[in-house]
Structure 1
Amino acid sequence: MVLDFTLPMHSSLAKLRNGFTALVAIVVLATMGFKWIAGYGWLESLWMVVVTISTVGYSERSSASDATQILSIAVIVLGVSAAAYTFTGVIQTMLQGELDRAIGRRRMEKEIKRLSNHTIVCGFGKSGPILAQYLSSQKRQFVILEIDEDQFQQAIQLGYHAINADATDEDVLISVGIQRASSIVVALPTDAQNVFITLSARNLCPKVRIVAQAERESSSRKLRQAGADEVVMGHQMVAEYMSRLVTRPSTAHFFLSLTQSATEDFLLDELYVPDGSSVIGKTIAQLRVRDLYELLVVGIKLADDSFVFNPAGSREFAANETILVMGKQADVDHFRDKNSLLEPGIHPGCEP
């Protein structure tokens, strides 16, 4: 979810630039005027300009000629005006920046309160930018919780919803809509923090899908006991992928291409079958999935989390199943909309 926190500041910046330009021009021309009209030296001419514009006015000559007095009057009027104009531009620029940030925060808070079926990302460290980029490309709503100021500012600069707060605080989770969220990604630096957030999230919303990060196998078990639906161990996944690249490189590249957003013409996607969907009780052959939608049904995830791979054409769909299909994004969208299917991770949340 992209959010623009910056309001236009062209008027105040232009005012500052124009005022500064006018002030410099007046100082230069007035110094030259005092040099040529009054016959002062360069340093004394500049001094006269400075004390005149600043309204200090001490020790100025009272026996000046008429031309010099007229020049002094002009310098006072123009110089003070330009200085005041520039000064108000500086103040306006400073206040405008603070106002923009305040308006941006208020706008973001309002949008977060309206979020539903969104993802909460706890931690914007090494994996945060990649995860946020992917969620944004999939047009999924999400909000980031990050306690580190530098990483929080990075998320803001990238245009994401972000809150500079401690994700281990239950009140913070409630403020970002944990009871309306469809999923939460727990990816803080330490396993202890991730276990604590997982416990809090599961207590606050029993239905939310929790994906947690772990560094150690013992922490992985604790996270599952705390209520995590999925536990990701980065080094283990890297090792498994590297082993596939060695033993089955073509297969590894093929499945990687299916998960990359760059491969838009062909992808592996999943669709949830809710109650009331038109596919319930119908077979793959009856729906003519391949003929009408140009999709290949590669598997079905059952309600008990078991899988049926390469299902036969006579296989009937049932409620609460997840259909795994391969094809183009447009065809997947057509099949989903035509048969009242849902994107993965979408559910009514924990609020009544």
Structure 2
Amino acid sequence: MHSVRLLRWVAFGLLLVLTYGTAGYMSLAGADFVNALYMTVTSITTVGFGEIIPLDRTGRIFTMSVIFFGVVLIMMAIGVLTQIAVEGTLRRVLEKRRMTKQIHRMQNHYVLCGCGRIGKYILEELRKVEAPVVVIEQNLEVADQLNRDGVLCIHGNATEEETLEKTNLEQARGLVVAIGSDAEAVFIILTARDHNPDLFIVARALEEKNELKLRRAGANRVLSPYRFIGKRMASSILSPAIIDMLDSIMYSGELDLAMEGLLVYSSSPVAGKSLRDSGIREKLGLMIIGIRKAHGNIHFNPTADEVIEPGDTLISIGEKDSLRKLTDFLSGGIREL
């Protein structure tokens, strides 16, 4: 900002010198406006075209003053422009290096391919829950704006393997593909699955006929926006109270509640115990509304005698702090509730 402000003052100074020189030649040598301005410009730029109007001793002294002030200001302008260019380039290089190091240290993060009309809402929800996320965006203006907003955004084409590798995909938890081409989405999914076989991948299908292809490529979930919106609108008219409750829990932020699916690791103290013996409901006040078994079946409203096994996912509703504590407990990070 200091350099830009200085450049404005230099430009203002050059304007004053042009005015000073033009007025001086018109007054001292009787030149018309065009010839006086021409003499001023050639003097400032030192191009050496010679005098087009006769000058006496006073006129030559005046010309030297015009050359002095003009050259000084032009050199200042060149210096300031060089400084701005160097500062901008250096800043971009340092920011890119810092971002690369930060992404390299990330684990269990999410990668979002595309931040367009749908992608921006996905990013908004991920940031609401403070989920670590890396964005790949092909539009340079959008990518720059995201970086200014504090989002780790890589400018590039997600279909290029080199770009995907920059997201530290091997350590990522999930990938969301929200680009505008089903064919490109298939390529991205195939590449990502090759880098991380355990990656959970969610993709958008622009055309319903391509949903199966995206699943075959390796997507765990494929959503068709038109189908999803249609079902959501139907649910909103048929069961508005249920939709309002789910929205309050999942999206509004009005309540200190959340619903999450939490994975049970083999190192967790509750692995092999029943829900009753785990103490989750009693000590944390959480509701376990379902358990998705490792083989994919979901047990809704499990009884207190339901055994928790490694690889299960507990579908839990409750206060956010309690859910965070349960996450650490199920991963083995803490041994007691």
State the Cα distance separating 1:65 from its structure 2 match: 4.3
State the Cα distance separating 1:228 from its structure 2 match: 2.1
State the Cα distance separating 1:247 from its structure 2 match: 1.2
Matches within 5 A, 1:246-325: 246-260=237-251, 262-263=253-254, 265-325=256-316
TM-score by length of 2: 0.82
- The CA distance in 1 between the partners of 2:280 and 2:242, in whole Å, is 25
Residue identity matched to 1:331 = S
- Structure 1, unaligned runs of 5 or more: 1-9, 344-352
State the Cα distance separating 1:60 from its structure 2 match: 5.9
Q: Percent identity?
A: 29
TM-score by length of 1: 0.79
- The CA distance in 1 between the partners of 2:207 and 2:45, in whole Å, is 68
Write out per-residue CA displacement over residues 23-50 of structure 1, whole angstroms, 9 at most, x where no aligned residue: 2223333444445566655555434432
Name 1:158's counterpart in structure 2.
146
RMSD: 3.1
Name 1:6's counterpart in structure 2.
none
Check conservation: 1:183, 1:210, Cα contact below 8 A: yes
Matches within 5 A, 1:62-77: 63-66=55-58, 68-77=59-68
1:226 to 217, 223, 241: 217
- When residues 315 and 97 of structure 1 are mapped into structure 2, their CA distance, relative to the original with a 3 A threshold, is same
Q: Which has the higher helix share?
A: 2
State the Cα distance separating 1:154 from its structure 2 match: 1.0
- When residues 172 and 86 of structure 1 are mapped into structure 2, their CA distance, relative to the original with a 3 A threshold, is closer
Specify which structure has the bigger relative contact order, considering alpha-carbon pairs within 8 angstroms and separated by 6 or more residues. 1
- When residues 342 and 213 of structure 1 are mapped into structure 2, their CA distance, relative to the original with a 3 A threshold, is farther
- When residues 80 and 309 of structure 1 are mapped into structure 2, their CA distance, relative to the original with a 3 A threshold, is same
- When residues 54 and 270 of structure 1 are mapped into structure 2, their CA distance, relative to the original with a 3 A threshold, is same
Name 1:235's counterpart in structure 2.
226
Write out per-residue CA displacement over residues 86-126 of structure 1, whole angstroms, 9 at most, x where no aligned residue: 13323333444344334443443343333332223233333
Name 2:136's counterpart in structure 1.
145
- The CA distance in 2 between the partners of 1:171 and 1:65, in whole Å, is 69
Residue identity matched to 1:81 = V
Matches within 5 A, 1:161-180: 161-180=152-171
- The CA distance in 1 between the partners of 2:34 and 2:178, in whole Å, is 64
- Structure 2, unaligned runs of 5 or more: none
Partner SS state of residue 4, structure 2: helix
- When residues 96 and 264 of structure 1 are mapped into structure 2, their CA distance, relative to the original with a 3 A threshold, is farther
Check conservation: 1:191, 1:214, Cα contact below 8 A: yes
Check conservation: 2:262, 2:330, Cα contact below 8 A: no
Partner SS state of residue 170, structure 2: coil
Name 1:87's counterpart in structure 2.
78
- The CA distance in 1 between the partners of 2:167 and 2:280, in whole Å, is 39
Name 1:59's counterpart in structure 2.
51
Matches within 5 A, 1:77-226: 77-146=68-137, 148=138, 151-159=139-147, 160-226=151-217
